[in-house]
Amino acid sequence: MLTSDGRLGVAIVGCGAVGSEVARTLRERQHTLQNRSGVRLELRAVVSRTFRTARAMGLEEELLFDRLEDALAERQIDCVVELIGGLDQAHAAIHEALSAGKHVVTANKALLATHGSELIAHARRNGVTIAFEASCAAGIPILRALYDGLAANEIEALYGIVNGTCNYILTKMVDHGERYIDALSAAQAERYAEADPTLDVDGTDSAHKIAIMATLAFGAHVDYRQLHVEGINRLSLDDVTYATRLGYIVKLLAVARRYNGGLAVFVRPAFISREHPLAWVSGPFNAVSIYGDATGHTMYYGRGAGGTPTASAVVADLVSIARGAYQPVFRAPCFWPQPESETSAAETTGANTTARNPQLIAVEELETRFYLRMSVDDTPGALARIADVLGKHDISIASVFQAEAPDERAPEPVHVVVTLHSTTEGRLRAAVKRIEALKSVRSPVSIIPIIDEHPERSFAGA
């Protein structure tokens, strides 16, 4: 139990869609949460710029503070919930809370991916914790799977669909043949995409999340700024359509896997088989497949965004802190190890929390299968020249598909669609550069990896 009197005083900083749901849950479910945790979770302060939502909810005026500093001074707070979002203000609030010896719960993936190591070192120095289940998949308890449920495993790989906006858009493109730009508008109309969707559709949001998950999964600090990240914002409907025709589906995958003694971590649109469990995940839903050496494949599915699912994870973290169950997890040496460059800071915490930075494998070195789509002038020998370039780069063709020109009298370029056997992306890019230089081929060539389901070790029967 955290506090001697069986109570946990909570301050919420930021009272928008998530903050107001957290406040509501703490108020309306106090008895249940106490039965579950053995601790009374008490909302003692709400810090916000405007109190529109807080007042609409009927929160007492005495709970409302303009500044965290005042709340910490005037109320007995054990845990600060940061739900401001963004970097600077959120960073300042968390730093202030940790410095004051308060536990922190946050949903802020951008902040954790950017400043996580520094904040976690600061928490350790101050003998408190930062919990962040809500940061990667909202209500899906995916971080708990990594740090608790699968604690006996060496994690071999994570494959995630972790951005609901992108998955919603892709589902529209796949199921309804909508172009990217129309699907994005539909997503905005249904509030699955923000007015400025850049960080979602360009893959940055997924990169934040996979960096956090990979850091926990592999006990090695992964910096999202070092990752290969592509979004869906340049994806052509043609490629989505050919995927279906070939038995695949296009998903924006966030991948982190062990590879040749290092880690391959990236975000990009990929073809996956329609039989792959992640192919089932449609609309705004998210899912993460985890391959552990003992469990084999496990998958976690649900709504990865939204006010109430995110609040669910925030309150679960509060319950865990209230129980005293999260503190030993956070204190464990390999929970979010410090990057080597920050070893000196980490050493002052007294714990062996540093880890060799993982060797990140560049995507150019990864062996995988690929899909290519080329716009080719329908002239004799065009396909032969393409095949020749691929062959000279030691790249083996698995299938070829060329549509008939729509009108023979007014020849337009035709699509040549090729799937390839495994090769490295570096070799493929060299070949594609040569192909794009061919007179009969229009630039650019579409290149999309085909990602097979991760192999499991063999399992005997039940």
State the catalytic residues.
209
Structure tokens at 359: 């060797």
Q: Which stretch binds a second copy (CB under 8 A): 27-35, 231-239, 356-364, 397-405?
A: 27-35
305 in contact with a second copy (CB under 8 A): yes
Q: How far is the CB of 282 from a second copy (least distance, A)?
A: 9
Question: In whole angstroms, what is the distance from residue 49 CA to residue 412 CA?
Answer: 58
Greatest pairwise CA separation for the chain in angstroms: 86
Q: Which is nearer to a second copy, 329 or 405 (CB)?
A: 329
Question: In angstroms, rounded to a whole number, what is the distance separating the alpha carbons of residues 34 and 224?
Answer: 38
CB of 370 to a second copy, least distance (A): 26
User: Should residue 113 be labelled a site residue for a second copy when binding is judged by CB under 8 A?
Assistant: no
The interface with a second copy within residues 205-224 (CB under 8 A) comprises 219
Query: Closer to a second copy at the Cβ: 29 or 429?
Result: 29
By beta-carbon proximity to a second copy, the closer residue of 139 and 231 is 139
- Count of residues engaged in binding a second copy, rule: CB under 8 A: 80
Determine contact, residues 284/163, Cβ cutoff 8 Å: no
**Residue range at the interface with a second copy (CB under 8 A); choices 17-25, 43-51, 423-431, 433-441:** 17-25
Six token digits for residue 322 = 């209230």
Q: In whole angstroms, give the CA distance from residue 337 to residue 436.
A: 44
Question: Minimum Å distance from CB 385 to a second copy?
Answer: 43
Q: Which of 65, 301, 336, 370 binds a second copy (CB under 8 A)?
A: 301
**338 makes contact with a second copy (CB under 8 A):** no
- State the Cα–Cα distance between residues 148 and 144, nearest whole angstrom: 5
Q: Binder to a second copy among 5, 6, 32, 401 (CB under 8 A)?
A: 32
CB of 9 to a second copy, least distance (A): 18
| Token pair recorded at residue 288 | 């993460």
Residues 82-111 that bind a second copy (CB under 8 A): none
As measured in angstroms, the least distance from the Cβ of 201 to a second copy is 12
Check binding of 9 to a second copy (CB under 8 A): no
How far from chain centre, in Å, is Cα 305? 11
Binding span for a second copy by CB under 8 A among 263-271, 289-297, 356-364, 390-398: 289-297
Does position 308 bind a second copy by CB under 8 A? yes
CA separation for the pair 178, 246 (Å, rounded)? 18
Whether the ω angle into residue 444 lies within 30 degrees of 0, i.e. cis, is yes
Site string for a second copy, 164-183 (x = CB under 8 A): xx------------------
Which DSSP helix (H) or strand (E) runs through 305? Answer: none
Are the C-beta atoms of 318 and 41 separated by less than 8 Å?
A: yes
Q: Rule CB under 8 A: is residue 60 a binding residue for a second copy?
A: no
Q: Euclidean distance between the first and final Cα of the chain, in Å? A: 39
Helix axes 30-37, 17-28, angle to 10 degrees: 80
Task: Name the DSSP class of 360.
Answer: B
14 contributes a contact to a second copy by CB under 8 A = no
Q: Which residues of 83-103 are buried (b: 16+ CB within 10 A; e: fewer)?
A: bbbeeebbbebbbbbbeeebb
CA 390/CA 420 separation, integer angstroms: 9
**DSSP letter (8 states) at residue 375:** E
Of 372-431, binders to a second copy (CB under 8 A) are none
The yes or no reply on residue 455 touching a second copy (CB under 8 A) is: no
Please select the residue that binds a second copy; options are 106, 114, 320, 354, rule is CB under 8 A. 320
Query: Locate tokens 């308060």: which residue?
Result: 102
E strand spans, 36-191: 40-47, 64-65, 79-82, 103-106, 130-131, 155-161
For a second copy, the binding residue among 262, 324, 427, 454 (CB under 8 A) is 324
Residue 124-163 contact track with a second copy, rule CB under 8 A, x = bound: ---------x----xxxx--xx-xxxxxxxx---------
Task: Judge whether 339 and 215 are in contact, CB under 8 Å.
Answer: no
- Return the number of other C-beta atoms located less than 10 Å from residue 461's C-beta: 3
Site string for a second copy, 266-285 (x = CB under 8 A): -----------x--x---x-
Decide whether 324 or 413 has the Cβ nearer to a second copy.
324
- 231 counts as binding a second copy under rule CB under 8 A: no
Using rule CB under 8 A, residue 56 touches a second copy? no
